[in-house]
A and B are shown apart, each in its own frame.
Chain A
Amino acid sequence: DADVTQTPRNRITKTGKRIMLECSQTKGHDRMYWYRQDPGLGLRLIYYSFDVKDINKGEISDGYSVSRQAQAKFSLSLESAIPNQTALYFCATSDLNGGDIQYFGAGTRLSVL
């Protein structure tokens, strides 16, 4: 969905480096999410935020941190990347008034060498 933009689309980095993945949305939604996708495991929730002052850990938050800079921006950071964080990362947004349906960005493919 073009209304949810993730940058970069692809990134290769080395073990130990700090990486930030960014997500911005023009849908006006309050709620934003970060997922990672691994083959055979589906999508797993890393962090979610229901508004600018609300940040919550998801199923697999260890090794990650997030920042909700504004209603429209939600960044995911890997403070010290490790190879098993190689995955496809998705940002999503939703609006409680819209039935909380989640809309996804196109994803960021991250490789940690």
Chain B
Amino acid sequence: AQSVTQPDIHITVSEGASLELRCNYSYGATPYLFWYVQSPGQGLQLLLKYFSGDTLVQGIKGFEAEFKRSQSSFNLRKPSVHWSDAAEYFCAVGDPTGGGNKLTFGTGTQLKVEL
């Protein structure tokens, strides 16, 4: 069974500083990988996805993530954080086989941005 680990429950960064949120997954092959963001009182918005190909993927709002097969990781990065990036971030794994894409989510990382 697939699983996702987000080791950091809370992260605080200063506005303008760089950000890296960690995500490790467990899956027998190469899964589909996603990062979602949830702002307070909102649903989940897709930031970026990896299906195959180039291991560095670009997303919305200036985010990027790198798939590293050898480390079973898909870490999310942003060079310069803005106060509006404060939110909860979820990494998710999808099973590309079996005719469907049921997602398994990590437990989330809450990002706080200090002004």
Complex Cα distance, B43 from A79, in Å, reads 25
18-53 of chain A: CB within 8 A of chain B: 31, 33, 35, 40-45, 48, 50
A41 to nearest B CB, angstroms?
6
Given A41-B107, A42-B108, A100-B32, answer yes or no on A94-B43 (Cβ-Cβ < 8 Å): no
66-113 of chain A: CB within 8 A of chain B: 90, 92, 94, 96, 99-107
Report, as a range, how many residues of chain B touch the other chain.
Answer: 20 to 34
Given A42-B90, A43-B105, A99-B49, answer yes or no on A104-B100 (Cβ-Cβ < 8 Å): no
Task: Determine whether the beta carbon of A42 is less than 8 Å from that of B44.
Answer: no
- How would you classify the secondary structure of chain A's contact residues: helix, strand, loop or mixed? strand
Residues of A within 8 A of B49 (CB): 99, 101
